[in-house]
Amino acid sequence: MGSSVSHAAAPPPPPPAGLAVALPPKAEEKSEKKVDYLNLPCPVPFEEIQREALMSLKPELFEGLRFDFTKGLNQKFSLSHSVYMGSTEVPSPSSGTIKVPTAHYEFGANFLDPKLMLIGRVLTDGRLNARVKCDLTDNLTLKINAQLTNEPHFSQGMFNFDYKGKDFRAQYQMGNNAFYGANYIQSVTPHLSLGSEVFWLGHQRKSGIGFAARYNTDKMVATAQAASTGIVALCYVQKVSEKVSLASDFMYNHMTRDVTSSFGYDYILRQCRLRGKLDSNGCVAAFLEERLNMGVNFILSAEIDHRKKDYKFGFGMTVGE
Amino acid sequence: MSSSQGRRGSLPGTSDDGKGVLSRFSSSISQSLIVSRGKRTASEAATVAKKLLWSTGRAAWIAGTTFLVLVVPLIIEMDREQQMNELEMQQASLLGAPPPSIAAPAAPK
């Protein structure tokens, strides 16, 4: 999600987060005292630089009822049905956002292969999402994200070419609306990796450059990002024990002089996963996924905005793996 | 006689008008000053107390709902985890112990 800091186009939908959270594996043996600079580990992809913080601090909060059913037909192929009934926020010109009651049914098909991944979703309100991830060679990966809508000029598509080197990663992006971007991240020490990205929006003749740094050990991850669009983002995740991790996040927008800071916890217990977050905008949110049975998860989502007096509560169930 | 008359005359509400009016006037001024000041202070104190109560109520509401959303599910889940751990330890100790020692105390029951 690093690229969402730098450009105005909507970021691609995040991959579904399972119940297992893993920090990057150990870089070197504890017995080695001398750092081998020729054998550094491969860094995390540039857009996943803030992955741990985003998983802890930004769960998919929703309002209303959500029901997901995933049925595997094969080892590689599965279908999913999903129903959502509730309110969504629609930005309106007059008074900020308006809550509009919506309901939709979503049908999806997934094909998962070690070398090829195809995911498609079609909704009853006329939207189609498609994601393709294909390993062209051992090191080169092609990713395609597309979203088609009924409304004209709202469809988006993005092509990503990822190259994974020994201790670096490079990515080239091409999107509609004449969007071109590239980013590069390199491991500098076993714990530190630095990266940068550039992008160019053709239609608005806007370009930008951004820099990012990520320092991670077994127990903590600290990242910092700065972009020429005037956004500075810092975040820190500390793994307090194997079940608990705490995360905090700071974002400063120079153009709108907007500062936001948030603090959250992430408890991964055997039967449930509970994430809570407290914000400097006066927002309190919690997200609970509880395992009722084998393959049946019960979801509760709560978000209270004390400043705007906006309360959103949702519940749902996820059936299937 | 004249002194007692004069003394009687100095009491308020007596026939000696000049002294009575003066003392009555000054006492009424001081009384009204004190009373008006007292009234103003009392009304200000009431406003401050009302605002304090209102903001305390609001703070209590915010603290209460935040506690309810952030902390109560955590307590419930940690309690369940602890119960499950205890159950597992109990079952592990039960399975680990030899069966006759379990059957013997269970039989008389």
Nearest beta carbon to residue A267 from set B62, B65, B77? B77
pLDDT, tens digit only, all 321 positions of chain A: 444 444 444 444 444 444 444 444 444 444 556 777 778 888 889 888 988 889 989 999 999 999 999 999 999 999 999 999 998 888 888 777 788 899 999 999 999 999 999 999 999 989 999 999 999 998 999 999 999 998 888 889 999 999 999 989 999 999 988 899 999 999 999 999 999 999 999 888 889 999 999 998 999 999 999 999 999 999 999 999 999 999 999 999 999 999 999 999 999 998 899 999 999 999 999 999 999 888 899 999 999 999 988 999 999 999 987
Nearest beta carbon to residue A270 from set B69, B74, B84? B84
Give the Cα separation of A25 and A4 in Å (integer). 25
**How do A296-305 and A310-319 pair as beta strands?**
antiparallel
A317 beta partners: A67, A298
Is the whole model's pTM more than 0.90, yes or no?
no
What confidence score (pLDDT) does residue A259 get? 95
Contact yes or no for B70 and A271 at CB 8 A: no
What mean pLDDT comes out for the span B6-34?
68
What mean pLDDT comes out for the span B17-41?
82
Contact yes or no for A284 and B69 at CB 8 A: yes
What mean pLDDT comes out for the span B48-71?
94
Contact yes or no for A267 and B69 at CB 8 A: no
Q: Which of A149-158, A283-292, B19-28, B39-48 has the lowest mean pLDDT?
A: B19-28
Give the Cα separation of A231 and A259 in Å (integer). 10
Beta strands in A51-150 (DSSP E): 64-72, 77-91, 97-112, 116-123, 128-135, 140-148
What confidence score (pLDDT) does residue A77 get? 95
What confidence score (pLDDT) does residue B15 get? 52
| ipTM value | 0.76
H-helix or E-strand spanning residue B83: helix B72-96
Give the Cα separation of A82 and B79 in Å (integer). 32
Angle at A51 between CA A50 and CA A57, to 5 degrees: 85
CB atoms inside a 10 Å sphere around CB A221: 25
What mean pLDDT comes out for the span B30-53?
89
Contact yes or no for A274 and B73 at CB 8 A: yes
What confidence score (pLDDT) does residue A80 get? 95
Does the structure show a pLDDT above 70 at B103?
no
What confidence score (pLDDT) does residue B20 get? 83
Confidence band, pLDDT 50/70/90 cuts, at residue B16: low
A244 beta partners: A267
Nearest beta carbon to residue B73 from set A271, A284, A288? A288
What confidence score (pLDDT) does residue B100 get? 57
Confidence band, pLDDT 50/70/90 cuts, at residue B17: low
Token duo for residue B39: 């009234």
Answer yes or no: are the C-beta atoms of A175 and A158 closer than 8 Å.
Answer: yes
Q: In chain B, whose CA is at the least distance from the CA of A267?
A: B74
Contact yes or no for B73 and A300 at CB 8 A: yes
Q: In chain B, whose CA is at the least distance from the CA of A273?
A: B77
Contact yes or no for B66 and A304 at CB 8 A: yes
Angle at A210 between CA A277 and CA A58, to 5 degrees: 15
Contact yes or no for B70 and A286 at CB 8 A: yes
Q: Which residue has the higher pLDDT, B9 or A292?
A: A292
CB atoms inside a 10 Å sphere around CB B66: 17
Q: Is B74 on the interface with A (CB under 8 A)?
A: yes
Contact yes or no for A284 and B70 at CB 8 A: yes
Q: Is B62 on the interface with A (CB under 8 A)?
A: yes
What confidence score (pLDDT) does residue A93 get? 80
Does the structure show a pLDDT above 90 at B50?
yes
Q: Is B84 on the interface with A (CB under 8 A)?
A: yes
Q: In chain B, whose CA is at the least distance from the CA of A291?
A: B77
